Chain A
Amino acid sequence: MNELPGDLLYTNDHEWLRREGDGSVTVGITEHAATSLGDLVYVELPEVGQDVDAGGEMAVVESVKAASDVYAPIAGSIAAVNDDLADDPEKINADPYGDGWIVRMTLSDGLDESELMTPDAYQELLDELDD
């Protein structure tokens, strides 16, 4: 497994979140999540404009093996979705932190970083899972 990008925040459910500087955030699933699921074959995306609660189901990623929910790491509304995933869901396997992004969100409230995990904290979680 590659090193975790240091500029992202993470969740217990293996999502990542990038602060875009304009108050919005980009969200995807981590390499660990993508690898565990295996080759992705379908992604169900939310509607642009849809409001989501923190921890609410936001998207579904399906691999040859199984379906898995993607949860919103924070409350907000969907500003954009990665339409490329409709034809090429394997972008999530190939580049989970880049071309494999899933949604962009505008936040209802500010970003409370204490609710999320730093790269070091997430790495610790992964290390525990390996044991």
Chain B
Amino acid sequence: MGSKTPHYDKHVEAGARIVDFGGWDMPLHYGSQKEEHFAVRQNAGVFDVSHMTIVDLAGERARDFLRYLVANDVAKLKEYGKALYTCMLNADGGVIDDLIVYYMSDTDYRMVVNAATREKDLAWIREQARAFDIDVVERSELAMIAVQGPNARALAAPCIDAEFREAALALKPFFGMEAGEWFVARTGYTGEDGWEIVMPAAEAHSVWDRLLAAGVAPAGLGARDTLRLEAAMNLYGSDMDETISPLEAGLEWTVAWEPADRDFIGRSAIETLRNSPHRQRFVGLLLEDKGVLRNHQRVVVDGVGEGEITSGGFSPTIGRSIALARVPAGDYDRAQVEVRGKLLNVRIVKTPFVRNGQIRIDV
């Protein structure tokens, strides 16, 4: 028996198949993962993401602290509610976790980190925060949902307190705002429009019921994974971990190299890798043969070397198998993947595979 989120009874009521995820009893699907996937691409789905860890940071030097703690630069955040996706690195440049930081003010930030990494993240953040005299407060009393899909905001808007509804609907992508005791952000992990909404746990059941009554489909971790894979969004523990730098996980765009004199944890280690000709590529793969690509399968690049699939699966939207993979340096656009002893042909494609309901690669 794992931990249960405030929505747990609602999952059981909706017929969810419950699985363990990082110590939490979470819904894998409610009958059909594919139908949930298409509900999000075409209409709206709701995910329980209460297992994720919300951490509020406060202190006079909160900005300086975050500029040191994470590889992206919170100095970019100048408007209230603006969000920043970043990696938190160890001294060797490996990824401790990937996370989102919301800017409330120069002295107040909200972070959302992964569930499976909660303990080590909190220990690391608290250890680093000591020198900056920062209050680190975990908000485990809150529930969190992600409502995602082209119609998600319209269908979820009636749940938001009338006083804040208009402002919430006016949020630009990658911005969040406080709405009374709630927090609403136009963010997500699916490649679709939508909100992530934080609320007191006591309201979790009634909001869930209202969303389902409005036609929003409950969606489980299974659909969350195929949606994020199509959107080519990295999964911590699968696409990167403490032994992998963001530069070899397709996340160089989240590393702020400028200003050059900003010292952040892991900087010197990844500076060395930055200009290395041997740096591995992180690419999208489309399977041209029949079959399904899976995590850890071997990628063979003729005459170049070998790599590995870090996230592989079937894309319901494309109707074929896709993957993210770490492969050797070099200029090539074809490779093969070993599946049960056979080498299948794959094409290297520019990601994302799917965004806002549209296939974005040539198939």
Q: Do A and B bind each other?
A: yes
Which residues does A use to contact B, with CB under 8 Å?
38-39, 41-42, 44, 60, 62, 64-67, 86
Hey, which chain B residues are within 8 Å of A67, CB to CB?
292, 294
Instruction: Evaluate whether A65 and B222 lie within 8 angstroms (CB atoms) in the complex, with A38-B29, A38-B33, A39-B34 already known.
Output: yes
Flag if A44 contacts B291 (CB, 8 Å): yes
Could you tell me the distance in whole angstroms from the C-beta of A100 to the nearest C-beta in chain B? 15
Could you tell me the distance in whole angstroms from the C-beta of B298 to the nearest C-beta in chain A? 15
Flag if A64 contacts B222 (CB, 8 Å): yes
B188 interfacial by beta-carbon distance below 8 Å: no
Hey, which chain B residues are within 8 Å of A60, CB to CB?
340
B291-310 CB contacts (< 8 Å) to partner A? 291-292, 294
Hey, which chain B residues are within 8 Å of A66, CB to CB?
294
**Docked CA distance A42–B33 (Å):** 15
B59 interfacial by beta-carbon distance below 8 Å: no
8 more CB-based (< 8 A) A-B contacts, given A44-B291, A44-B340: A38-B29, A39-B33, A41-B316, A42-B314, A60-B340, A62-B292, A64-B313, A65-B28
Partner of A39, one of B32, B321, B340: B32
Which residues does B use to contact A, with CB under 8 Å?
28-29, 32-34, 37, 222, 226, 290-292, 294, 313-314, 316, 321, 340
Flag if B222 contacts A42 (CB, 8 Å): no
Which 7 pairs across A and B sit closest by C-beta, in order of nearness? A41-B314, A39-B34, A62-B292, A64-B33, A42-B292, A64-B314, A38-B33
Partner of B290, one of A38, A65, A86: A86
Residue of A nearest to B35 (CB): A39
Flag if B316 contacts A64 (CB, 8 Å): yes
Residue of B nearest to A38 (CB): B33
Interface of chain B, helix or strand or loop or mixed?
mixed
Hey, which chain B residues are within 8 Å of A62, CB to CB?
291-292, 314
Hey, which chain B residues are within 8 Å of A41, CB to CB?
292, 314, 316
Residue of B nearest to A42 (CB): B292
Could you tell me the distance in whole angstroms from the C-beta of B30 to the nearest C-beta in chain A? 11
Residue of A nearest to B314 (CB): A41
Hey, which chain A residues are within 8 Å of B316, CB to CB?
41, 64
Hey, which chain B residues are within 8 Å of A64, CB to CB?
33-34, 37, 222, 226, 313-314, 316
Hey, which chain A residues are within 8 Å of B226, CB to CB?
64
Q: List 18 A-B contacts (CB under 8 A).
A: A38-B29, A38-B32, A38-B33, A38-B222, A39-B33, A39-B34, A41-B314, A41-B316, A42-B314, A44-B291, A60-B340, A62-B291, A64-B34, A64-B37, A64-B226, A65-B33, A65-B222, A67-B292
**Docked CA distance A54–B328 (Å):** 42
Could you tell me the distance in whole angstroms from the C-beta of B119 to the nearest C-beta in chain A? 27
Hey, which chain A residues are within 8 Å of B294, CB to CB?
66-67
**Docked CA distance A44–B292 (Å):** 10
Hey, which chain B residues are within 8 Å of A39, CB to CB?
32-34
**Docked CA distance A15–B125 (Å):** 51
